[in-house]
Amino acid sequence: MADPVIGILGAGRIGTALARLAVKAGYDVGVATAKPPAEIALLLEFTAPGARAETAADLVAGSDMVILALPLGKYRMLDPAAFAGKITVDAMNYWPQTEGNLPEFDSPLSSSEIIQAYLPQARVVRGFNHMGYHEFEQDARPAGDVGRRAMALAGNDDAANAVVAELVSRIGFDPVVAGDLRASRCFGIGTPIFGAGANASELAALLARRIEAILPKD
């Protein structure tokens, strides 16, 4: 397929870092928040030049891939119908110390499995969550670089996983698809993978051990 149009919901540090890298990689990128586009356009000129400011509704409607870079507690503001068929990348993490307690996420399920249940027709892929926003640009490397880090992905839709993996590769990391969304439990906060600077082979080995240890056998 042609390069997907990428929409990023959220203009915080994660959202703008991903916008900068995606623009640099040649993608058409839009960014939206709850504010009118005119209020964030100037911000984007400094934090993500080349990215468009849009309304959230227009961004979701006009994007092939939507990256959720919002505080996790705002997920219920999303319109499930608008995400039908959309590749939806969940980059959100559950931080009780900053957002307060969200009881639905005190669960054996990963947050992405809960997001998928809320957006049942979206093609949810977990990604961009086990690395700090400052590391996205600091550690991005061209393909083949011996110092290139790897990034884990997980999703139930193989085609969606492949599109997101291409984005990950183009912005500077080796994608490692862990499996379906259940596998995202293996690289969340508190796991050995979260924050680890692993290369592709190291990450694949870490994931295999975690999957063997914590995922229920079919």
d(CA 165, CA 180): 14
Per-residue pLDDT of 60-92, as tens digits, reads 999 999 999 999 999 999 999 999 999 999 999
Tell me whether residue 135 is in a domain: yes
Tell me whether residue 1 is in a domain: no
Per-residue pLDDT of 177-192, as tens digits, reads 999 999 999 999 888 9
pLDDT at 158: 98
> In this model, does residue 1 exceed pLDDT 70?
no
pLDDT at 94: 85
Tell me whether residue 162 is in a domain: yes
Q: Give the position of tokens 């290139």.
A: 148
CA end-to-end span of the chain:
33
The CATH number linked to 149 is: 3.40.50.720
- Cα atoms in the Cβ-side hemisphere of radius 13 Å centred on 207: 25
> In this model, does residue 139 exceed pLDDT 90?
yes
pLDDT at 218: 61
Tell me whether residue 101 is in a domain: yes
Tell me whether residue 63 is in a domain: yes
Provide the domain limits for residue 52: 6-214
Entry pTM:
0.95
d(CA 129, CA 93): 7
- Alpha-carbon dihedral of residues 188, 191, 195, 196, nearest 10 degrees? -130
**Looking at the DSSP assignment, which residues form a beta bridge with residue 54?**
none
Low-confidence winner among 16-20, 101-105, 133-137, 141-145 (lowest mean pLDDT): 101-105
Q: How many domains does the chain have?
A: 1
d(CA 95, CA 182): 20
Tell me whether residue 54 is in a domain: yes
Residue of 137, 162, 141, 165 lying closest to 151 (CA atoms): 165
Contacts of 29 (CB under 8 A, 6+ apart): 5, 6, 7, 8, 19, 22, 23, 48, 50, 51, 52
Tell me whether residue 33 is in a domain: yes
Tell me whether residue 14 is in a domain: yes
Contacts of 178 (CB under 8 A, 6+ apart): 152, 153, 154, 184, 186, 187, 207, 211
